[in-house]
């Protein structure tokens, strides 16, 4: 049985933690008296935590999946700090996957798999149609570029890359208008009324 993409990512994330001595960790949990509350740590538990984080689960949701309260989950993280590191690495992979998908979608390189039932005729030996059946036709289709998403990415990602800060023009205008005295406001109003005539 081949592994899914998520399982392969989990294996990649857990690779640096292969040398964890689970017996030592579990003995520590037992010595602190938390084994009844938080249970014991295993490679499977760590893999599940990584998988849930890769699927976008929050820390509260991960705690719920482990059947732990928030306080118990904090205790687990204090006793096993590598849990936090695994979650952070999983969230970082998730961010990369989301950013890559957004970029592909914006540029029009994103492919979707489609399925559609199709009627297929059944023939006898002479070539006459004797019936029909349904078969599922599968194909990949590349979606066209998404200009609004491309504009969004350009405004937000490129400005971060080149160090430009987003300017709130409404706030800037309010500050400027707030600094005017009444005579300046009257002059602006007169000017605008003259343009509208």
pLDDT at 180 over 80: no
Q: Quote the CA–CA distance of 100 and 112 in Å, as a whole number.
A: 15
87 pLDDT band (50/70/90 cuts)?
Answer: very high
Residue 93: name the closest of 15, 154, 3, 19 by CA: 15
Bridge partners, 122 (sequence order): 131
Question: Which range, 14-28, 92-106, 165-179, is most confident?
Answer: 14-28
Query: From CA 67, how far away is CA 73, in angstroms rounded?
Result: 9
Task: Kindly state the tokens that stand for 111.
Answer: 């492919």
Whether the CB-CB separation of 110 and 101 falls below 8 Å is answered with yes
Tell me if 63 sits within 8 A of 70, measured CB to CB: yes
Q: Kindly give, in sequence order, each residue whose CB lies less than 8 Å from that of residue 87, ignoring residues fewer than 6 positions away.
A: 49, 50, 53, 59, 62
Q: What is the pLDDT of residue 174?
A: 66
- The predicted pLDDT at position 86 comes to 92
**Separation between Cα atoms, residue 57 and residue 65, nearest integer Å:** 10
pTM: 0.62
Q: Report the alpha-carbon angle 149-155-158, nearest 5.
A: 110
Half-sphere exposure of 42 (CA within 13 A, CB side): 6
Question: What does the mean pLDDT of the chain come to?
Answer: 83
Flag whether pLDDT at 163 surpasses 80.
no
């Amino acid at each position: 049985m081949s592994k899914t993409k998520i399982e392969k990512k989990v294996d990649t994330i857990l690779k640096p933690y292969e040398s964890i001595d689970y017996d030592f960790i579990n003995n520590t949990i037992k010595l602190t008296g938390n084994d009844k509350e938080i249970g014991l740590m295993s490679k499977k538990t760590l893999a599940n935590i990584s998988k849930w984080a890769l699927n976008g689960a929050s820390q509260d949701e991960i705690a719920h999946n482990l059947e732990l309260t928030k306080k118990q989950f904090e205790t687990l993280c204090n006793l096993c700090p590598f849990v936090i590191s695994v979650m952070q690495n999983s969230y970082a992979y998730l961010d990369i996957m989301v950013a890559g998908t957004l970029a592909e979608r914006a540029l029009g390189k994103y492919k979707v798999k489609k399925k559609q039932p199709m009627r297929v005729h059944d023939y006898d030996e002479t070539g006459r149609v004797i019936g029909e059946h349904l078969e599922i036709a599968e194909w990949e289709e590349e979606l066209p570029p998404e200009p609004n998403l491309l504009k969004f990415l350009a405004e937000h990602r490129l400005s971060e890359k080149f160090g430009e800060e987003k300017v709130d023009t409404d706030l800037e205008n309010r500050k400027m208008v707030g600094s005017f005295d009444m005579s300046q406001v009257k002059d602006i109003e007169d000017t605008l009324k003259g343009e509208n005539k």
